[in-house]
Chain A
Protein backbone atom coordinates (compact mmCIF):
# COMPACT_ATOMS: atom_id res chain seq x y z
CA UNK A 1 0.00 0.00 0.00
CA UNK A 2 1.26 3.45 -0.88
CA UNK A 3 -0.21 6.88 -0.27
CA UNK A 4 -0.38 9.03 -3.40
CA UNK A 5 -0.93 12.81 -3.23
CA UNK A 6 -1.65 15.32 -5.98
CA UNK A 7 -1.09 19.06 -5.91
CA UNK A 8 -2.10 22.31 -7.59
CA UNK A 9 -3.43 22.15 -11.16
CA UNK A 10 -3.10 18.35 -11.22
CA UNK A 11 -5.17 18.00 -8.03
CA UNK A 12 -7.89 20.12 -9.64
CA UNK A 13 -7.79 18.21 -12.95
CA UNK A 14 -8.14 14.87 -11.15
CA UNK A 15 -10.52 16.26 -8.53
CA UNK A 16 -8.53 14.25 -5.99
CA UNK A 17 -5.94 15.33 -3.43
CA UNK A 18 -4.84 11.91 -2.21
CA UNK A 19 -5.61 8.21 -2.34
CA UNK A 20 -4.27 4.91 -1.07
CA UNK A 21 -3.09 2.53 -3.76
CA UNK A 22 -3.14 -1.13 -2.81
CA UNK A 23 -0.79 -2.73 -5.30
CA UNK A 24 2.08 -5.25 -5.52
CA UNK A 25 5.40 -3.46 -4.92
CA UNK A 26 8.12 -2.50 -5.69
CA UNK A 27 7.18 -0.66 -8.85
CA UNK A 28 8.87 2.19 -10.65
CA UNK A 29 7.28 5.63 -10.58
CA UNK A 30 6.34 5.11 -14.24
CA UNK A 31 4.56 1.87 -13.29
CA UNK A 32 2.70 3.62 -10.47
CA UNK A 33 1.46 6.18 -13.00
CA UNK A 34 0.37 3.36 -15.32
CA UNK A 35 -1.48 1.67 -12.43
CA UNK A 36 -3.33 4.90 -11.64
CA UNK A 37 -4.29 5.30 -15.29
CA UNK A 38 -5.55 1.71 -15.47
CA UNK A 39 -7.79 2.38 -12.44
CA UNK A 40 -8.90 5.80 -13.70
CA UNK A 41 -8.59 5.88 -17.52
CA UNK A 42 -9.78 9.49 -17.65
CA UNK A 43 -6.53 10.46 -15.85
CA UNK A 44 -4.35 9.38 -18.79
CA UNK A 45 -4.05 12.84 -20.29
CA UNK A 46 -2.86 14.37 -17.02
CA UNK A 47 -0.30 11.64 -16.32
CA UNK A 48 1.12 11.55 -19.84
CA UNK A 49 2.19 15.18 -19.44
CA UNK A 50 5.99 15.07 -19.73
CA UNK A 51 6.37 18.08 -17.43
CA UNK A 52 4.71 16.32 -14.50
CA UNK A 53 7.05 16.00 -11.49
CA UNK A 54 7.20 13.13 -9.01
CA UNK A 55 8.36 12.88 -5.41
CA UNK A 56 8.82 9.83 -3.21
CA UNK A 57 9.05 10.42 0.53
CA UNK A 58 9.31 14.18 -0.11
CA UNK A 59 12.27 13.94 -2.47
CA UNK A 60 12.01 14.61 -6.22
CA UNK A 61 12.65 11.46 -8.25
CA UNK A 62 12.50 10.39 -11.89
CA UNK A 63 10.28 7.81 -13.58
CA UNK A 64 12.77 4.96 -13.00
CA UNK A 65 12.85 5.36 -9.21
CA UNK A 66 11.61 2.34 -7.23
CA UNK A 67 8.58 2.78 -5.01
CA UNK A 68 8.28 0.45 -2.00
CA UNK A 69 5.53 -0.49 0.39
CA UNK A 70 4.61 2.37 2.73
CA UNK A 71 6.21 5.06 0.58
CA UNK A 72 4.56 8.44 0.18
CA UNK A 73 4.31 9.29 -3.50
CA UNK A 74 3.31 12.68 -4.87
CA UNK A 75 2.68 14.00 -8.37
CA UNK A 76 2.55 17.69 -9.24
CA UNK A 77 3.09 20.25 -12.01
CA UNK A 78 6.35 22.20 -12.34
CA UNK A 79 6.78 24.43 -9.30
CA UNK A 80 6.14 28.19 -9.51
CA UNK A 81 6.97 29.64 -6.09
CA UNK A 82 9.16 32.56 -5.15
Chain B
Protein backbone atom coordinates (compact mmCIF):
# COMPACT_ATOMS: atom_id res chain seq x y z
CA UNK B 1 0.00 0.00 0.00
CA UNK B 2 0.96 3.58 -0.62
CA UNK B 3 2.40 5.34 2.44
CA UNK B 4 -0.03 8.23 2.16
CA UNK B 5 -3.71 7.86 1.42
CA UNK B 6 -5.92 10.95 1.11
CA UNK B 7 -9.57 10.71 0.19
CA UNK B 8 -12.30 13.33 -0.08
CA UNK B 9 -15.58 11.49 -0.45
CA UNK B 10 -19.34 11.69 0.02
CA UNK B 11 -19.78 8.08 1.11
CA UNK B 12 -19.16 6.69 4.56
CA UNK B 13 -16.10 4.61 5.44
CA UNK B 14 -15.32 1.80 7.85
CA UNK B 15 -12.95 3.05 10.55
CA UNK B 16 -11.71 -0.43 11.50
CA UNK B 17 -11.01 -1.37 7.88
CA UNK B 18 -8.99 1.80 7.38
CA UNK B 19 -6.90 1.08 10.48
CA UNK B 20 -6.38 -2.48 9.28
CA UNK B 21 -4.93 -1.15 6.01
CA UNK B 22 -2.38 0.86 7.98
CA UNK B 23 -1.31 -2.22 9.92
CA UNK B 24 -1.33 -4.73 7.07
CA UNK B 25 2.19 -5.89 6.04
CA UNK B 26 3.62 -3.22 8.29
CA UNK B 27 5.99 -4.79 10.78
CA UNK B 28 8.21 -1.80 11.42
CA UNK B 29 5.64 0.51 13.01
CA UNK B 30 4.74 -0.18 16.63
CA UNK B 31 2.41 2.78 16.99
CA UNK B 32 -0.92 3.59 15.35
CA UNK B 33 -2.70 6.78 16.41
CA UNK B 34 -6.06 7.74 14.98
CA UNK B 35 -8.62 10.50 15.26
CA UNK B 36 -12.25 10.30 14.20
CA UNK B 37 -14.44 13.42 14.00
CA UNK B 38 -18.24 13.04 13.95
CA UNK B 39 -21.27 15.31 13.64
CA UNK B 40 -22.47 16.13 17.16
CA UNK B 41 -26.05 16.95 18.07
CA UNK B 42 -25.38 20.35 19.66
CA UNK B 43 -23.26 23.35 18.78
CA UNK B 44 -23.14 26.60 20.76
CA UNK B 45 -26.21 25.46 22.68
CA UNK B 46 -28.28 24.82 19.58
CA UNK B 47 -29.75 21.52 18.50
CA UNK B 48 -28.19 20.42 15.22
CA UNK B 49 -29.91 18.05 12.80
CA UNK B 50 -27.26 17.81 10.08
CA UNK B 51 -24.14 19.38 8.63
CA UNK B 52 -23.49 20.27 5.03
CA UNK B 53 -19.82 20.11 4.01
CA UNK B 54 -18.65 22.09 0.99
CA UNK B 55 -15.09 22.04 -0.35
CA UNK B 56 -12.92 23.40 -3.15
CA UNK B 57 -12.32 20.22 -5.16
CA UNK B 58 -9.12 21.14 -7.02
CA UNK B 59 -7.47 22.60 -3.93
CA UNK B 60 -8.50 20.31 -1.08
CA UNK B 61 -6.28 17.33 -1.79
CA UNK B 62 -3.28 19.53 -2.61
CA UNK B 63 -3.70 21.38 0.66
CA UNK B 64 -3.86 18.11 2.64
CA UNK B 65 -0.79 16.76 0.81
CA UNK B 66 1.17 19.85 1.82
CA UNK B 67 0.17 19.41 5.47
CA UNK B 68 1.24 15.74 5.31
CA UNK B 69 4.59 16.67 3.76
CA UNK B 70 5.28 19.12 6.59
CA UNK B 71 4.43 16.40 9.14
CA UNK B 72 6.76 13.95 7.38
CA UNK B 73 9.61 16.45 7.53
CA UNK B 74 9.09 16.88 11.24
CA UNK B 75 8.54 13.33 12.46
CA UNK B 76 9.53 9.78 11.53
CA UNK B 77 6.27 8.49 10.09
CA UNK B 78 5.18 5.28 8.46
CA UNK B 79 1.74 5.36 6.87
CA UNK B 80 -0.78 8.19 6.89
CA UNK B 81 -4.49 8.06 6.14
CA UNK B 82 -6.77 11.09 5.81
CA UNK B 83 -10.44 10.72 4.88
CA UNK B 84 -12.72 13.75 4.84
CA UNK B 85 -16.36 13.55 3.86
CA UNK B 86 -18.34 16.20 1.99
CA UNK B 87 -22.04 16.69 1.30
CA UNK B 88 -24.92 16.34 3.73
CA UNK B 89 -24.08 14.47 6.95
CA UNK B 90 -26.57 13.57 9.69
CA UNK B 91 -25.86 13.74 13.42
CA UNK B 92 -23.56 10.91 14.45
CA UNK B 93 -22.09 10.42 10.98
CA UNK B 94 -18.34 10.39 10.50
CA UNK B 95 -16.80 13.59 9.10
CA UNK B 96 -13.07 13.08 9.22
CA UNK B 97 -10.47 10.45 10.00
CA UNK B 98 -6.74 11.01 10.44
CA UNK B 99 -4.49 8.09 11.32
CA UNK B 100 -0.71 7.85 11.46
CA UNK B 101 1.67 4.96 12.07
CA UNK B 102 5.19 5.28 13.36
CA UNK B 103 7.88 3.20 15.02
CA UNK B 104 7.19 4.93 18.33
CA UNK B 105 4.09 6.52 19.81
CA UNK B 106 5.23 10.10 20.38
CA UNK B 107 5.81 10.76 16.66
CA UNK B 108 2.42 9.24 15.80
CA UNK B 109 0.57 11.19 18.53
CA UNK B 110 2.13 14.52 17.61
CA UNK B 111 1.80 14.08 13.85
CA UNK B 112 -1.89 13.14 14.13
CA UNK B 113 -2.59 16.27 16.15
CA UNK B 114 -0.47 18.40 13.81
CA UNK B 115 -2.35 17.16 10.74
CA UNK B 116 -5.75 17.76 12.38
CA UNK B 117 -4.74 21.20 13.66
CA UNK B 118 -3.65 22.37 10.20
CA UNK B 119 -6.53 20.64 8.40
CA UNK B 120 -8.82 22.80 10.54
CA UNK B 121 -7.25 26.11 9.47
CA UNK B 122 -5.83 25.44 5.98
CA UNK B 123 -7.85 22.83 4.11
CA UNK B 124 -10.67 24.43 2.07
CA UNK B 125 -13.72 22.84 3.68
CA UNK B 126 -16.74 24.77 4.97
CA UNK B 127 -19.47 23.56 7.30
CA UNK B 128 -23.05 24.70 7.15
CA UNK B 129 -25.10 23.74 10.15
CA UNK B 130 -28.70 22.64 9.61
CA UNK B 131 -30.93 23.36 12.64
CA UNK B 132 -34.67 23.46 13.11
CA UNK B 133 -34.44 27.26 12.92
CA UNK B 134 -32.68 27.13 9.53
CA UNK B 135 -29.20 26.90 8.06
CA UNK B 136 -26.08 28.73 9.10
CA UNK B 137 -22.45 28.74 7.86
CA UNK B 138 -20.12 28.16 10.77
CA UNK B 139 -17.53 30.74 11.78
CA UNK B 140 -13.95 29.72 12.43
CA UNK B 141 -13.06 28.99 16.00
CA UNK B 142 -10.28 31.10 17.55
CA UNK B 143 -9.12 28.08 19.57
CA UNK B 144 -8.44 26.25 16.29
CA UNK B 145 -6.39 29.17 14.98
CA UNK B 146 -4.38 29.30 18.23
CA UNK B 147 -3.76 25.53 18.19
CA UNK B 148 -2.25 25.59 14.70
CA UNK B 149 -0.15 28.63 15.63
CA UNK B 150 1.45 26.69 18.50
CA UNK B 151 3.32 24.29 16.22
Contacts and interface: CB of A to CB of B under 8 A. Distances in A.
Interface of A: 5, 7-9, 12, 51, 55, 58-60, 72, 74, 76-82
A80 B125 contact: yes
B139 interface: yes
A79 B124 contact: yes
Contacts of B125: 79-82
B54 interface: yes
Given A81-B123, A82-B125, A55 B56 contact: yes
Interface in B123-151: 123-128, 137-141, 144
A9 to B, nearest CB: 4
A8 B128 CA distance: 8
- Residue in A5, A78, A82 with the greatest tally of chain B CB atoms within 10 Å: A82
Contacts of B62: 58-59
B81 to A, nearest CB: 15
Q: In terms of DSSP, what is the predominant structure of the interface of chain B?
A: mixed
Contact of B138 (A51, A76, A80): A80
Interface string B30-72: 0000000100000000000000011110110011000000000
Contact of A78 (B37, B63, B139): B139
Q: Place the interface of chain B in its size category.
A: 20 to 34
B96 A8 contact: no
Given A80-B140, A82-B116, 8 more contacts: A8-B126, A9-B126, A51-B140, A78-B140, A79-B120, A80-B125, A81-B53, A82-B37
A23 B126 CA distance: 30
B121 interface: yes
Contact of A81 (B58, B84, B137, B139): B84
14 contacts: A7-B54, A7-B56, A7-B124, A8-B128, A9-B126, A9-B137, A51-B140, A58-B62, A74-B59, A78-B140, A80-B139, A81-B55, A81-B124, A81-B125
